[in-house]
Amino acid sequence: MIFGAEIPEPGTVKITVIAAPVVIGNPDGAIPEGELIKIAETINRAGIPTEYSPDVYKYLWDKILYNSALNPLGALLETNYGTLAQIPETRELMNSIIREIFAVAKAKGIDLFWNDAEEYIEHFYKNLIPPTAGHYPSMLQDIRAGKRTEIDALNGAIVRLGREVNVPTPVNETITKLVKAKEKIVSKEG
């Protein structure tokens, strides 16, 4: 899902962005396809665009690409996605993050929707950033609240997977360390 939400107060959720439908699926087949389709229809009726796909694993990797490129930089620089896309230095960092993820996925034999990093990068700036340009990452909200972020499940996971297949991931590793440092700084200040 490329979907943003805030919790302005307990029991209230404010949807801030929906860039694409939520996709549900079951890569290991534990839940029957018909049940997943019914769940998707129910969520659709609740006003959240949702669809079922047997290729949900590819969608998960799309989400990893998107979040890994945007969330840590938005959190570190305390800015929205549109600003990140406009600054040449952050664009260069995001492109490097994406290229490293593609190299790791290829080495691990992970099938993605995109043929290569350049094809995804074009899609990223043309189709994904515009509808989410004003969005601030949840990682920033977590840091401000003194919570641990999801950095280990995003860029940190890419670093671990890269080590498994001897693919260097220096940008993802640096970003991971910077976010962890910011978490510690904020927790000491709070």
* Predicted local confidence at residue 26, as pLDDT: 84
Catalytic hit among 63, 147, 177, 180: 63
CATH number at residue 109: 1.10.1040.10
Cα(117)–Cα(96) distance, integer angstroms: 9
Report, as an integer, the average pLDDT of 22-28. 83
Q: Is 63 a catalytic residue?
A: yes
6 and 16 in a common domain: yes
96 and 49 in a common domain: no
46 and 61 in a common domain: no
Q: Which of 20, 38, 54 is the last residue of a domain?
A: 54
* Predicted local confidence at residue 176, as pLDDT: 98
Q: Which of 54, 69, 84 is the last residue of a domain?
A: 54
Share of the chain above pLDDT 90, in %: 63
Q: pLDDT, tens digit, for every residue of 77-116?
A: 999 999 999 999 999 999 999 999 999 999 999 999 999 9
pLDDT confidence tier of residue 137, bands split at 50, 70 and 90: very high
Q: Give pairs for 125-132: CB < 8 Å, separation 24+.
A: 125/85, 125/91, 128/2, 128/19, 128/20, 128/66, 129/81, 129/82, 129/85, 131/17, 131/18, 131/19, 132/2, 132/4, 132/17, 132/19, 132/81, 132/82
Counting the structural domains of the chain, the total is 2
Q: pLDDT, tens digit, for every residue of 30-50?
A: 888 889 889 999 988 888 888
Residue 43: give the domain boundaries: 1-54
141 and 85 in a common domain: yes
